[in-house]
Amino acid sequence: MNDFLLSQIEEGKYFNLGAFLDDNYILLSPETPVDQPLLDRLQRWGYNYVYSNGDITDRADSEGGINGDDVEVANLNAQFKEREELEQAESKFREMVEFTEKIFTQFVTRGDLPHGMISNKVKEFIETVKRYRHFLLRYNEFQVNINYIVVHSVKTTIVGTILGLEMHLPPHKMIELATTCLLHEIGMIKLPSQLYMTDKLLNEKERKAITAHTALGFKILRTHDYPMAVCLGVLESHENIDGSGYPRNLTGERISQYAKIVSVASSFAAMNSDRPFRVALDGHHAVVELLKNRGTRYDAGVLSGLVKALSVYPIGTFVQVENGAQGMVVKTFQEHPRTPLVKLLLGPKGGQYMENPVVNTLNEEYRIVGVIPNTKASKLREALKGE
C-alpha cells in the first residue's frame, strides 16, 4: 500500500480505493469523504499516515468502491487471519482449562499440587497471553462444559496476567501473580459445588464455609511449599480496601499487591461470565460496576490499570454504531480507548452480513452510540456463532 502523510490530506477529499489505518482495517470507504474531525482525532492520537492502494480524488468512487478488488481482498485476508488466530487462542485456552482440571482433580484425589509443574505451565501461559491477548479476552465464545471454578480460574489468570503486564511487573513476579490467579480458589474445590453455584441466600453455616475457603487455600499452598507471596495473595484475595472483606478485615496498604490484582481480575471474570442464575454482564458494564467500588472494595490503582488495559469498551462487548449496525468489539487501543475496532454482525436493518467487516470507530459513520447488554444480545450471539 501507499502511505499518505496526514498533514497533506484535505477535508472533503476521497480515497478511490479506500483508506486503512493499520492491519488492513478500513478507515474510510471510497464513498466516504475525509472530514476535519477525523483528521483532528488522528493527529491527536499520534497517527502520521494513512494507507491506500488508490489515490486521493475530488469525488466519490462511482462504483461504490468498498466492494472494489483491493478492499475486498484486504478484508478477506484480515478475516482469515483473525479466524486463524482466534482458533489458536481457543486451543490454548482449552489446553489451559484441561491442565487446570487435571491439577485440581489430582489434588482432590491424591492431595498433590506440584509447584514446579504449575510454575512451568503458568510461565508458558503468560507468553500465550502476550501473543493472543485480544483473542483470549473473547473467552465467552469458547464453550467448555467443565466445573465453573476451573474455568473461572483460567479466565482470572488471563485478566490478571494482562493487569500484571500493564503494571510492568518483572518476570518472576508475573509468574507468582499468574500462579496466584490460577490457584486463588483452590480452597473452594474442597467445598460442595452447590455452595458457590446457587442463587439462593446462604444460611450462616454456609456463609462461614464460603468465607473459610481463602484460609483453607492458604494452608494448602503453605503445605506444598508455595512462595509466601502467592500464599498471601490467595489468603487476601477477598479482602476489601475499606476493611469489609474477609478473612482478616484488612484495609488499604495492608493487603498484598497480588491480592489486590486478583480481586479485580476475579471479579471482572465472574461478572463477565454466565452463571446458572444470571446472564453475564458485558465487558463495558462489568468495568462500570467495578469502578463504582473504587477505593472501597477495589484498589484505585489496579482499577486504573484495568481500564487502561481493557479500554472503555472491552473486547467482546456488543455495541451499536452510528449508522445503525451492531457488532462486537474485537480490538482495543490504549492510545484511544473509546474508539476500538468493531466486527459488524447485523446491518442497520437487522440483517446478517455475508462477510463480517471489521470497522474502525474513528470513522464518524461507525462511531459507537450505545452498548447492547448481553440480556438483549441473543440475535448478535447467534450471528457470531454462524459467522
Closest of 115, 338, 366, 94 to residue 226, by C-alpha? 115
pLDDT at residue 283 is higher than 90: yes
Instruction: Assess whether pLDDT exceeds 90 at residue 320.
Output: yes
Query: Is 126 found in the same domain as 65?
Result: no
Is 178 among the domain residues? yes
- Estimate to the nearest angstrom the gap between the alpha carbon of 368 and the chain centroid: 18
C-alpha span between 161 and 332 (Å, rounded): 17
CB 299 within 8 A of CB 156: no
pLDDT band, very low/low/confident/very high, at 201 (cuts 50, 70, 90): low
Q: What CA–CA distance (Å, rounded) separates 201 from 206?
A: 9
Residue-range definition of the domain harbouring residue 64: 2-75+322-385
pLDDT digits (tens, 9 = 90+) for 47-94: 888 888 888 988 765 444 444 444 444 555 556 677 889 999 999 999
For residue 94, give the 3-state DSSP assignment: helix
| pLDDT surpassing 80 at residue 209 | no
Domain identity same for 200 and 56: no
Q: Which residues pair with 5 in a beta bridge?
A: 49
Instruction: Give the C-alpha separation, 89 to 136, whole Å.
Output: 6
| Residue 317 within a domain | no
CATH number, domain of 227, equals 1.10.3210.10
Phi, psi of 342 (to 5 degrees): -125, 130
Q: Are residues 300 and 381 in the same domain?
A: no
Q: How many helices (H) and strands (E) does the chain have?
A: 13, 11
**Mean local confidence (pLDDT), 295-324:** 96
> Same structural domain for residues 369 and 277?
no
265 and 159 fall within a common domain:
yes
Residues 34, 156, single domain; the answer is no
Q: Answer for the pair 283, 254: CB distance below 8 angstroms, yes or no.
A: no
- The mean per-residue pLDDT over the stretch 337-360 comes to 89
User: How far is the first Cα of the chain from the last one, in angstroms, to the nearest whole number?
Assistant: 28
Residue 80 within any structural domain of the chain: no
* pLDDT value at residue 27: 78
Percentage above 70 pLDDT, the chain: 89
Is 300 domain-assigned? yes
20, pLDDT greater than 90 = no
- Position 147 scores a pLDDT of 87
The answer on 333 and 271 residing in a single domain is no
Query: In terms of domains, do 239 and 100 share one?
Result: yes
For range 213-220, the mean pLDDT: 95
One-letter amino acid for residue 325 of the chain:
A
pLDDT of residue 71: 45
Confidence (pLDDT) at 337: 87
Q: Which of 281, 310, 339 is the last residue of a domain?
A: 310
Residue 134: inside a domain, yes or no?
yes
Report the SS3 class of residue 278. Answer: strand
Co-location of 160 and 248 in the same domain: yes
Sorting pLDDT into bands at 50, 70 and 90, what band is 202? low
Are 99 and 204 in a shared domain? Answer: yes
Where a domain ends, among 276, 310, 344?
310
Look at residues 155, 149, 111 and name the one whose alpha carbon lies nearest to residue 136: 155
One domain for residues 11 and 154:
no
Where would I find the H helices in 16-170? 36-44, 69-110, 115-136, 148-166
**Are 71 and 124 members of one domain?**
no
At which of 310, 331, 346 does a domain end?
310
How much is the average pLDDT of 93-114?
96
Report if residue 283 sits inside a domain.
Answer: yes
What confidence score (pLDDT) does residue 199 get? 59
pLDDT score of 63:
44
Q: What pLDDT sits at residue 68?
A: 45
Q: What angle do CA 217, 219, 224 make, to 5 degrees?
A: 95
Q: Give ∠ CA 214-215-217 in degrees, rounded to 5.
A: 65
Task: Determine, yes or no, domain membership for 226.
Answer: yes
Q: How many domains does the chain have?
A: 2
User: What are the C-alpha distances in Å from 29 to residues 138, 227, 332, 355?
Assistant: 27, 55, 21, 16
pLDDT bin (cut points 50, 70, 90) of residue 363 is confident
Whether 315 maps to a domain, the answer reads no
Chain centre distance of CA 43: 27
Mean pLDDT of the chain: 88
The SS3 of residue 369 is strand
pLDDT score at 217? 96
* Confidence (pLDDT) at 348: 92
Contact 179, 230 (CB under 8 A): yes
Kindly state the cell numbers that stand for 252: 488499604
Q: Which secondary-structure segment (H or E) carries 28?
A: strand 26-28
- CA 211 → CA 190, 206, 246, 290, 332, distances in Å? 13, 9, 7, 21, 36
